Amino acid sequence: MTTWLNMSLQDGASPIMEQLVFFHDHVLMIMLMITTTVSYMMITLIRNKQTSRFMLEGQMIETTWTIAPAIILVFIAMPSLRLLYLMDEVHNPSLTLKAVGHQWYWSYEYSDFTKLEFDSYMIPQEEQQESTFRLLDTDNRIVLPMNSPIRMIVTAADVLHSWTIPSLGVKTDATPGRLNQTSFSISRPGILYGQCSEICGANHSFMPITIESVPAKHFIDWVSKMSE
- Residue 183 shares a structural domain with residue 147: yes
Closest CA to 114 of 223, 189, 206: 223
- State pLDDT tens for residues 23-33: 999 999 999 99
CATH number at residue 149: 2.60.40.420
Looking at mean pLDDT, say which of 15-19, 57-61, 112-116 comes out highest. Answer: 15-19
Number of domains forming the structure of the chain: 2
With a cut of 90, say whether residue 106 has pLDDT above it.
yes
With a cut of 70, say whether residue 21 has pLDDT above it.
yes
- State pLDDT tens for residues 66-101: 999 999 999 999 999 999 888 888 778 889 999 999
- State pLDDT tens for residues 126-141: 888 888 888 888 988 9
With a cut of 90, say whether residue 145 has pLDDT above it.
yes
Average pLDDT rounded to a whole number, residues 31-43: 94
- Residue 80 shares a structural domain with residue 168: no
In a domain, 4, yes or no: no
In a domain, 8, yes or no: no
- Residue 180 shares a structural domain with residue 199: yes
pLDDT at site 154:
94
Structural domain including 177 reads: 95-227
- Residue 219 shares a structural domain with residue 109: yes
- Residue 109 shares a structural domain with residue 28: no
Edge-first strand order for the sheet with 180-185 is 117-120, 105-110, 95-102, 149-156, 180-185
- Other beta carbons less than 10 A from residue 179's beta carbon: 10
Q: 49 or 181: which carries more pLDDT confidence?
A: 181
- Give the integer Cα–Cα distance in Å for 11 and 168: 9
**Contact predicate 153/99, CB 8 Å:** yes
- Residue 19 shares a structural domain with residue 111: no
Under the banding of pLDDT at 50, 70 and 90, the label for residue 125 is confident
Q: The pTM is what?
A: 0.82
pLDDT at site 1:
65
pLDDT at site 198:
87
- Residue 170 shares a structural domain with residue 120: yes
Write down the H helix ranges in 4-145.
15-47, 59-88
Closest CA to 209 of 130, 126, 152: 152
